[in-house]
Structure 1
Amino acid sequence: MEHSTGDAESSGIFSLSTPNPVRDVLLVGTPIVVLGALGTLLGLSTIEGGALVNLGYVLAVFVGAILLKRQGSSWLALGLTRPASWVRTVLAGVGAGVGAAIVFVAVQALVLSALLSLGVPVTGIDQSRFNPIEGNLHLFLLMVLLAWTTIAVAEEWFYRAFLITRLTDHANVGQWLAILVAGALFGAVHFAEGPVGVLSNGAFGVLFGWIYLRSGRNMWITVVGHGLLNTLRFSLLYAGAA
């Protein structure tokens, strides 16, 4: 019995018009993984390496937009539609940024304290890849620009909006498990910052995953919070106070 090409494309994992959590995450996440690996090989502290990492997120958003359009949705629908109140949203974003900073520092302190009490020699977050920022105004301004674009928007779109909704809406995964999975992946991609950095970013990711769902999937809140957190971080690095 012969099957037409249309029949093959309209069913199963090959039908992009039908959400498939594993396939969708792999498709959208591939640019992040591949270009992130190439950027790591070139050196994350180099312009070329950093550019490849950021390009990976840009391509992921582009691929995701095409995929969501095929499925009758859009990346705006995942949390970037116009909020009912910009003032409340921005204020909530500021609160999210403050909360993230507290969680970030608290987790570092707890992990370092626990490891030291066990006699395990460990250092804090490895920020060496950002060393070129210190005293370099042009690079600092570039990083702030990226903090509000490929870092805040793209990372929030993938690790919070896209990943969490794929799990909760299309894989029957509970909200907390989805938040934990997304947070763990977010922490893992910050491997360059060492074990403490992975745990700190993972906790930050869990907090923002909770905020995203708690706010009714208002991604603007986490984008503002993420942008503010990274702006503060880059400002401290520029001043040599980090």
Structure 2
Amino acid sequence: MSRALPGVSNGGMSRRRLWAEIGIVLGLSLGASAAYSVVSFVDKFTREKALSQQTTSINNSLSDRPTFDLTYQVMAVFFDLVPVALVVFLLWQVSRPHLGRLGIDFTRPGRDSLTGLGLALIIGPGGIAVYLGAVALNANTAVNPSALDTYWWTIPVLLLRAIDAGVTEEVIVIGYLFARLRDLGWGTWRIIIGAALLRGTYHLYQGFGAFIGNVIMGLLFGWLYSRYGRVLPLVIAHVIIDSVIFIGYPWAATVFPQLFGLPAA
């Protein structure tokens, strides 16, 4: 096991209590998303239309009244981040770095930012290629990642959504799960594979392509974390990728509609 990962310190908790804690955290966050994602995928897969002829929209409007839509959007982001606050509370250490068990410190912001940017530049194009290939093979729905109506606050909300996704997924699936599964005695690669499969599963509602692409991303992120023990570069990479997709989609869908399963203008 890599020496870069924070050490085991479960406070004397029993295995049963550790599993209960993991179940509660995931049940309040990405585990619930995975369950809904599986049901959504089965629903789409069993319809008469091929997956590529169906559209999955994310970042949808929550009200036809702009002020209330904005209010709901901000509230959704806030409450999505509550499970992150929970794992911070659970793994907080008295000694510095307080979030060391989550692989978080703020000692190298410049280096972490550059690493995150580099990861985004590597992973982003590959993810788009997997998505387009899956749509072409009828293995994925056409995804509209920016279904919000256009208001002055649309781009800030999409950025908040990207931050929400990056922080929630990387802190919980990488930082928290790695810490607690190590407390349970799991080996490094068992944790990496398990976390990657969870990541793929809560993206399955989009189709097989999203599942495979996110499993690959999860394997890479898990390996990097096992080697270097740092979550912030992964969060930054994830936020950059989602920000570009969420904000750039309307332009890309207009210029290249056929790539997104849309009729040509």
1:221 Cα deviation from its structure 2 partner? 0.7
Aligned length: 215
Aligned counterparts, 1:147-226, within 5 A: 147-148=162-163, 150-167=164-181, 169-215=182-228, 217-226=229-238
1:91 Cα deviation from its structure 2 partner? 1.2
CA–CA distance in structure 1, aligned partners of residues 93 and 20 of structure 2: 14
Letter in 2 for 1:104: G
What residue is the counterpart of 1:139 in the other structure? 154
CA–CA distance in structure 1, aligned partners of residues 135 and 113 of structure 2: 33
CA–CA distance in structure 1, aligned partners of residues 130 and 27 of structure 2: 30
What residue is the counterpart of 1:229 in the other structure? 241
**Percent pairwise identity:** 20
CA deviation map 1:186-235 (0-9, x unaligned) = 111112212211211221122111222222x1111101111111111112
Listed as ranges, the gaps of 5+ residues in structure 1 are 1-14, 117-121
What residue is the counterpart of 2:22 in the other structure? 25
Verify the 8 A CA contact 1:156 1:223 in the aligned structure 2: yes
More helix by share: 1
Alignment match of 2:83 (pick from 60, 77, 85): 60
Aligned counterparts, 1:109-128, within 5 A: 116=137, 122-128=138-144
1:68 Cα deviation from its structure 2 partner? 2.2
CA–CA distance in structure 1, aligned partners of residues 203 and 23 of structure 2: 19
What residue is the counterpart of 2:44 in the other structure? none
CA deviation map 1:104-150 (0-9, x unaligned) = 1344466567xx4xxxxx1545424x3424755522320112212x2
> TM-score by structure 1 length?
0.72
1:125/1:62 CA distance change after superposition, 3 Å: same
Alignment match of 1:105 (pick from 113, 128, 144): 128
Report the secondary structure of 1:127's partner residue. Answer: strand
* Most deviating of 69-78 and 172-181: 69-78
CA deviation map 1:129-180 (0-9, x unaligned) = x3424755522320112212x211121100111112222x212222122111
CA–CA distance in structure 2, aligned partners of residues 186 and 58 of structure 1: 17
Listed as ranges, the gaps of 5+ residues in structure 2 are 1-9, 41-56, 64-71, 254-259, 261-265
Alignment match of 1:86 (pick from 106, 109, 129): 109
What residue is the counterpart of 1:9 in the other structure? none
Verify the 8 A CA contact 2:131 2:209 in the aligned structure 1: yes
Query: 1 or 2 for the larger relative contact order (CA 8 Å, sep ≥6)?
Result: 2
1:94 Cα deviation from its structure 2 partner? 0.9
CA–CA distance in structure 2, aligned partners of residues 38 and 123 of structure 1: 19
What residue is the counterpart of 2:52 in the other structure? none
Displacement over 3 Å in runs of 4+:
33-41, 48-57, 69-77, 105-113, 123-126, 133-137
Report the secondary structure of 1:218's partner residue. Answer: coil
Letter in 1 for 2:103: G
